[in-house]
Amino acid sequence: MAASVRSIARIVLSDSRRKALVMSSGPGINLTCRVELGGSRFYNEDHAGRTTSFGFETVSEEEKGERVYKVFESVAPKYDVMNDAMSLGVHRLWKDTLLRVMNPLPGARLLDSAGGTGDIAFRFLNYTRSRHALQQRAALRSQQTPSWQDISRDYASGERAVKAESRVVVCDINKEMLTVGKEKAERLGFGAGVSWVVGDAEELPFDDDQFDVYTVAFGIRNVTHIEQALQEALRVLKPGGRFLCLEFSKVSNPLLSSIYDAYSFQVIPVLGEVIAGDWKSYQYLVESIRRFPDQETFKAMIEDAGFFRVQYFNLTGGVVAIHSGFKL
Amino acid sequence: MRAATLRLRSPRRVLSQLPHRNLIHYGQLYPSHVPTNFVQKSLLAVGSGVAALRDPYRHDMVAVLGETTGHWALMRLRGQMMRDPEGCTILKERPRIRISTLNLSHMATLPDGCLGREYLSFLEDNNVTPDSRAEVKFVDNEELAYVMQRYREVHDLLHTLLGMPTNMLGEVAVKWFEAVQTGLPMCILGAALGPVRLSSRRFQLLVNTLGPWALRSGNRARCVMSIFYERRWEQNLEELRRELGIEPPPQILSAALKKVPSDSAY
């Protein structure tokens, strides 16, 4: 019963949004639909004075968006270097683990939100391509001679490689990060298979039911309204699609926690100043990690958004957590 | 109804636009201040030193090195400035040398040989601007932060006073002068390591002529930080040098000293 109500609500919500986006006739009706069904960001006067956290500071919601944009605009050129320096290369293992948890099949469509420099996108393509190659080798081994039906089918379809092509869409609100990602893609040879889209995670420029997997790696804590980003994730996923979030989280062990805090607040801003020439952005980074909800709270938020079978995996003692949920 | 909602919204908007709102955060003493503890300062000093040595064009790293290691030297400088009446005036009035505060059109009308005119020629010849100096961030005392900022802004004027161009040889000569005058560890380090990158001919020049001249002038001269340059634009440069106790720059092979187009650093 609850599921059907939820699905009806989802259809109505997505319907009104789609209509609003397309700007069809009858604007009056669409606008009221939008306001009633929670599109309150745009027309509700009460939200004008709302505040949120920017690290340990309290700022207005509009200001947070601008300031986060400026932070990532300034760190974009040295983003990858800084990631390696701050985590001593361990962030690569975290991202590899995310892919292993995701375990995508060839032909899957991925939306990498706040994907910036494309780390997850490139790993996804490598994973699916090698898996596709393994599948093909297994198929060849099992079938010594293809039947005449197989031969005629492959002959008609043309290029075999095109059949199970995985596609990634990297979406980020910040153009500088996408530019860095595009250059990296050309350097590493990932020209085809990746699209780069500018978009806000709270209002994705995609239709409903488009993607098999939605990932957000180290990006959701920078979003002003996390619940809205989760709802958008639910909207663009196909039924059966998976939501995956890789994010810094709470360390439960007190000894590890004190070492982690000391390292975060003493060393990371210094590294930011020396390598990237930007103390303040990295101060914001470590503060925003402390402000983000812990594993259980975030799990509850994901469940509230409408995902099922929500679980989390702690990595490196809780420094980083992978949250996963399914849209049914 | 409309008036009520306008009133509700405006106080927050105004507060968020006040420029000094952020001074309240983290114990900031001045707008560009980033408070740091001893551990962070040590890490910064080491890190910026390594970064500056690896890439001498990282001027921001040189600046950070100066700020994190210069506390004692800055206190000594401030003491010297306070004992001098002109220096005391500077500490009170806090003048800044920036494009917006300089009257460039007036300075261009001054006769040749005046401090103002020579300074303007120096800026034009070497294609530098006084606005390119980084803001002080890691000095935990407001007055000492100003002294550091003043030191950075006076650097170009020192080039004019000493008659040195901005190539490597000229910069090293100015650094030797500054090391003696200010005692800042960053200047001493720069003075010690700068000559390493010079060609042998210029190194000879430095060791034989320029270096001793810079050291002598630095020792004899009055504290250059205590001079209110903004009130002395009309003063003749030679007369100013005599007043301060700076020997005129040595008349050596002008080709070696002048900035050649191929000169990027050497």
Answer whether residue B7 is part of any domain.
no
Mean pLDDT along residues B19-35:
69
**B17-40 burial: b if 16+ Cβ within 10 Å, else e:** eeeeeeeeeeeeebeebbebeeeb
Answer whether residue B19 is part of any domain.
no
Mean pLDDT along residues B14-43:
71
Could you tell me which residue, B88 or B165, shows the higher pLDDT?
B88
Q: Report the complex ipTM.
A: 0.76
pLDDT grade for A8, boundaries at 50, 70 and 90:
low
- The pLDDT score that the predictor gives to residue B58 is 84
* Furthest CA-CA distance within chain A: 71
* pLDDT score of B3 more than 80: no
Picking from A43-52, A115-124, A220-229, B69-78, which range would have the lowest pLDDT averaged per residue?
Answer: A43-52
DSSP class per residue in A199-256: -BTTB-SS-SS-EEEEEEES-GGG-S-HHHHHHHHHHHEEEEEEEEEEEE----SHHH
Mean pLDDT along residues B67-78:
94
Ramachandran area for residue A121 (φ above 0: left; ψ -120 to 50: alpha; else beta): alpha
Q: Which residues of chain B have a CB within 8 Å of the CB of A279? A: 34, 137
| Chain B contact probe: residue of A274, A281, A286 with most B CBs at under 10 A | A274
Name B82's Cβ contacts closer than 8 Å, sequence gap at least 6: B88, B91
CB-hemisphere CA count at 13 Å for B245? 13
The model's pLDDT over A52-89, given as tens digits with 9 standing for 90+, comes to 888 888 888 888 889 999 989 988 998 999 999 999 99
Instruction: Using a CB–CB cutoff of 8 Å, tell me whether B17 touches chain A.
Output: no
Answer whether residue B3 is part of any domain.
no
* pLDDT score of A38 more than 50: no
Nearest to B163 by CA among B206, B208, B118: B118
Name B114's Cβ contacts closer than 8 Å, sequence gap at least 6: B233, B234, B235, B236, B237
**In the structure encoding, which two tokens stand for residue B240, read together?**
């100013």
Nearest to A126 by CA among A178, A166, A79, A186: A166
Distance CA B48, CA A328 (A): 53
Contact A267 B43 (CB under 8 A): yes
Q: Tell me the average pLDDT of chain A.
A: 84
* pLDDT score of A148 more than 90: no
| Chain A contact probe: residue of B34, B38, B46 with most A CBs at under 10 A | B34
Q: Provide the 3-class DSSP secondary structure of residue A113.
A: strand
**Locus of tokens 């889209």:** A197
Chain B, window 222-261: residues with a beta carbon less than 8 angstroms from a chain A beta carbon: none
Contact A270 B43 (CB under 8 A): yes
Which residue type occupies B107?
A: M
**C-beta pairs of A10-17 under 8 Å, 24+ apart in sequence:** A10/A234, A10/A235, A10/A306, A12/A37, A13/A37, A13/A38, A13/A235, A14/A208, A14/A235, A17/A235
Distance CA B215, CA B174 (A): 10
B155 is in an annotated binding site: yes
Q: Which residues on adjacent β-strands are paired with residue A171? A: A113, A197
- The pLDDT score that the predictor gives to residue A26 is 42
pLDDT grade for A236, boundaries at 50, 70 and 90:
very high
- The pLDDT score that the predictor gives to residue A224 is 92
B20 is in an annotated binding site: no
Q: What's the pTM?
A: 0.76
Which residue type occupies A43?
A: Y
Instruction: Using a CB–CB cutoff of 8 Å, tell me whether B39 touches chain A.
Output: yes
Answer whether residue B48 is part of any domain.
yes
- The pLDDT score that the predictor gives to residue A178 is 95
Alpha-carbon dihedral sign for residues A280, B45, B50, A262: negative
Which residue type occupies A112?
A: D
| Chain B contact probe: residue of A51, A268, A273, A286 with most B CBs at under 10 A | A273
Q: Which domain holds residue B91?
A: 28-257
Q: Tell me the average pLDDT of chain B.
A: 83
CA B17 to centroid of chain Cα atoms: 31
Answer whether residue B17 is part of any domain.
no
Answer whether residue B21 is part of any domain.
no
Could you tell me which residue, A138 or A96, shows the higher pLDDT?
A96
Could you tell me which residue, B26 or B102, shows the higher pLDDT?
B102
The model's pLDDT over B119-150, given as tens digits with 9 standing for 90+, comes to 988 888 888 888 878 889 999 999 999 999 99
B159 is in an annotated binding site: yes
- Give chain B's domain count: 1
pLDDT grade for B25, boundaries at 50, 70 and 90:
low
CB atoms within 10 A of CB A275: 18
- The pLDDT score that the predictor gives to residue B143 is 93
* pLDDT score of B174 more than 70: yes
